[in-house]
Amino acid sequence: MVSFFRFLVLSVLRPVFLSVGALFRWFHQMLFAGRIDDREQKPSRGSFPNRFRVQRIGVEAAKAIADLPAPEIAAYFREHPATAKALVSESYDKRYSPSTFISEEGNELFRVGWYSTKMGYECVRDFSNLADAATDYLLFSLGKGRWKPPN
């Protein structure tokens, strides 16, 4: 009797419950997920991708200077390259998409942009030094604009 009850639960009732749960999830996504996503998105502005979302920054020193004017942020990264390198390391450790990225592409070439598995690389900018790249990455990640270094 116990084995028949176990068979009934595992072979009949469990798949029915899983199917009903999947159906409810699909309905929820169709009805509400778009509205929730739209609320969290920033509007497309110039150098931001269409589905941009503000990113989490875990480097405390970078978060502390994020509200400064962009030239002061760049100056800070020039004086404190370890903080800029910490941002690069944090970017390399990201395990999700879409997200902002900063990468060192070779000797004195840094790239900052947006990556998504659906669209690939977007809004990519190249920089010749780490301080300018880190400034752009910080501003871009927080949705505050993009850094244009002075000539």
Paired tokens of 83: 């903080």
Nearest to 130 by CA among 68, 64, 66, 76: 76
pTM of model > 0.75: no
Separation between Cα atoms, residue 10 and residue 7, nearest integer Å: 5
pLDDT one digit per residue (tens) for the chain, 151 residues: 767 767 766 677 666 766 766 666 666 666 665 444 443 444 345 578 888 889 999 999 999 999 999 999 999 999 999 999 999 999 999 888 899 999 998 888 999 999 988 888 999 999 999 999 999 999 999 999 999 998 7
Residues with Cβ within 8 Å of 129's Cβ and at least 6 positions away in sequence, in order, are 108, 110
Cβ-contact 113, 125 below 8 angstroms: yes
User: Bridge-partner residues for 85, per DSSP?
Assistant: none
Separation between Cα atoms, residue 108 and residue 91, nearest integer Å: 18
Paired tokens of 137: 């990455």
Residues with Cβ within 8 Å of 126's Cβ and at least 6 positions away in sequence, in order, are 105, 109, 110, 111
Separation between Cα atoms, residue 50 and residue 46, nearest integer Å: 10
